Amino acid sequence: MIKQCCKSICRILVPVLLLFSCNEASQSPKTAEIVREPENLNKKTNENIAITMAFASEHNGKLNDSITFNMLPVVQLWYGGLDSLRTWSDKQQWLPMADSLYDFIRQSENYGLFPSDYHFSHLDIIRHKLKTDSLAMLDAAMWARADLLFTDAFVQIVKDIKLGRLEKDSVTLRKDSVLTDSFYVALLKNVHSSKELTPLLETLEPHHQGYVELRGALKSFLDSMNRTRYTYLSYPFTDPVDSMDFIKNLQTRLYEGGYIAFNDRAADTAALTAAVKAYQKENDLKVDGKAGPMVVKSLNNNDQEKFKTIAINLDRYKQLADTMPQRYLWVNIPSYQLRLWDTDTLKLESKIIVGQPKTRTPLLTSTLTNFIIFPQWTVPYSIIFKEMLPKIRENVGYLDKQNLMVVDKNDSIIDPHAVNWFRLNKNYFPYLLKQREGDDNSLGVIKFNFRNKYSVYLHDTNARWLFSKADRALSHGCVRVQQWDKLSKYLVKNDSLRYKPDTLAAWMKRKEKRTVTFSQKIPIFIRYITCEARNGRLVFFDDIYAEDKIARQTRFGNKYNLFTL
C-alpha cells in the first residue's frame, strides 16, 4: 500500500519528483513553508500534501506525537486519485465545505461523537492562526496539514456515524458492518461536488425509533450539561494493584468534589473515611464511610459519564439492521421492559424480570414460533447441580415442596426416596426433574418459545409479586412477562378461525396443556440499552451486566478532552 501510494503521488505531481525520490526514505514534513508568491500557494500546498502523505505512509499513519491518521488507506486512495491534491481549500481560504465540516466536528457531540476523535484541536488552532496571522495565510505546510486532517476526519466521521465504535458481535445485524474504501471515496466525491455535508452525513444514521428519540433528546442534555471533569472510578477491582489504583482515584475524585482538602499526598484511612462520610451525608446515602457500590455509582453519576452512556447506546442502535420488521418484540434488559411494535405503533408494554448478573439473559435475535398453555418445566442441569441437589440431599421432601417429580430417560416417574442422591453428580445423573404444570409451576401458566442456543424463553411466573420490585434482575436467564395474557391474545389475533375469542380462556379455565401456533410469526430482539428518551427526556438505567463499563474501558475510556470545548 505504501509503495502504491508513493507511485500514485509521484505520477500525479511531477514537481515533487524534484524534491524527493519515492524509492528512498521520504522527507520529514515541514512544520511551515511560507510562500513568497501567492500564485504558487496551491502548487506548494500540493507538494506538502504529497510529502506528508509519503511520510505518514512509512510511519503507519503517524505524523508526529500528536497527529495520527486513523483512516490512512482511504486517505491514500483519495489523494492517489486526484489531479490536484488540495481538497478542502483553495489559494488563501477554506472552501465552504471545509467550514461546514469544521462546524460539524465542533458540534459532533449532538450525534454522540467526540470532537477529539476528528482532529478538532489541531484544526481549531489552524483556523485561529488563519484568522489572526496574515503570514499564516501563505503557509503551504499548514494548508497541507489542514487538508489531510479534514479528509481523515471526514472518513472517520462517516465510519462512526454509520457503524459506530463498538466491536461487531453476535447480535450485530448490519450487512455492511465493514465499509469498503471505495464507499468512503464515493462519499468524498459526493460532498466535494454537492457541498452539502450535514444532510449527507445524517442519511447515514439509523432510522430506528429508539435512536431517533435518543438523539433528539441529546441536544437539551448538552445545552445544560455540567462539563466539569471528574475522575472515573472503576469498581469492583480484582487484584491488589487495582485496589491501590482505586484508592488513589477515590481520593482524587473526592478532592475534585471538595470533600478532601488535598491531593498532593496520599490520605490516610481516617481522612478518606471522613471524606466518604461527608459525601454520603450530602447525597442521602448510608453514612458508614465505606466506598462501596452505591458510593461509586453516585460518584460516577456525572454528566461526563452520562454523555459516554448516551454515546455507547447510540452505537448499539447502529448494530441493528437498517430496516426493522413491521412487527416485532423489543426486550430491553436494563429497563426491565418488553415492548411490542406494529407499524411504528406501540401495541403492548410490559414489565419483565430478567436474569441475574451471574445467570444473564443473553442478547439475541430470533422469532416467536408458538406458546404453551400450562407448560411443564424441565429443570436445567445447571440449576439442579448449583441449587437443588444440595437441598435434596439434605431433605428429599424438598422435591414435593417445589412440586418436582423425578423421571428417567423413558419419562417414567421414579420414587425420589428410592434414589441415592449422594451418588449423583455432574458426571452421573440419569434423571430429569420436572415440575408439574399449574399455578405453582415456575413457568406460571404460559411459555412463549423461540429458537435459540441458550434454551431461554419468555414465560409467566408463579411469583408475580416480584414485578413490583424496582430491581428485577432475578431469574436464571429466561424472561418473565407480566402482561403474558395480552401478549398471547395479540399473537393469535389473526387466527380467529382456529382460535375463537374465548378458546384460550376456556383452555386456561380447564387448565389444559395446549401448544398454540400462530400464522404470523413475530421477530424478537433481546437487547441491552441503558439510556432511552421518554417524552423528550433522557432516562438512564442501571448497568446491571457491566456492559457499559466494558465499553468504556475498551472504546470510550479516554474521551475526557470532549469537555474542553
Secondary structure of residue 521 in the 3-state scheme: strand
Q: Which three cell numbers, joined as nine digits, stand for 406?
A: 423425578
Residue keyed to cell 453428580: 425
User: Is there a catalytic annotation at residue 10?
Assistant: no
- Cα 116 from Cα 122, distance rounded (Å): 9
The number of angstroms, rounded, from the C-alpha of 231 to the middle of its chain's C-alpha atoms is: 21
**Which positions ≥6 away from 385 have C-beta within 8 Å?**
425, 426, 429
Q: Torsions phi, psi of 332, nearest 5?
A: -105, 115
Task: Return the C-alpha cell found at 290.
Answer: 465505606
- Catalytic residue, candidates 6, 22, 119, 459: 459
- Determine the Cα–Cα distance for residues 367 and 269; give it in Å rounded to an integer: 55
- CA quadruple 262, 263, 265, 266: dihedral sign: positive
Question: Cell digits for 511?
Answer: 387448565
DSSP string, 326-366: SEEEEEETTTTEEEEEETTEEEEEEEEEEE-GGGPPPPEEE
CB distance 310 to 538 below 8 Å: yes
**Apex CA 468: angle with CA 465 and CA 474, to 5°?**
75
Contact between 253 and 265 (Cβ < 8 Å):
no
Active-site residue, selected from the candidate residues 6, 22, 478, 531: 478
With residues binned 3-state (H G I as helix, E B as strand, rest as coil), the percentages for the chain, rounded to 5, are: 45, 15, 40
Return the number of other C-beta atoms located less than 10 Å from residue 226's C-beta.
10
Q: DSSP string spanning 527-539?
A: E---EEEETTEEE
Q: Which three cell numbers, joined as nine digits, stand for 88?
A: 478542502
215 closest CA partner among 333, 354, 111, 291: 111
**In 376-432, alpha helices (H):** 381-383, 389-394, 398-401
Does a cis peptide bond (omega within 30 degrees of 0) precede residue 416? no
Identify whether 459 is a catalytic site residue: yes
Amino acid at 248: K
Active site members: 459, 478
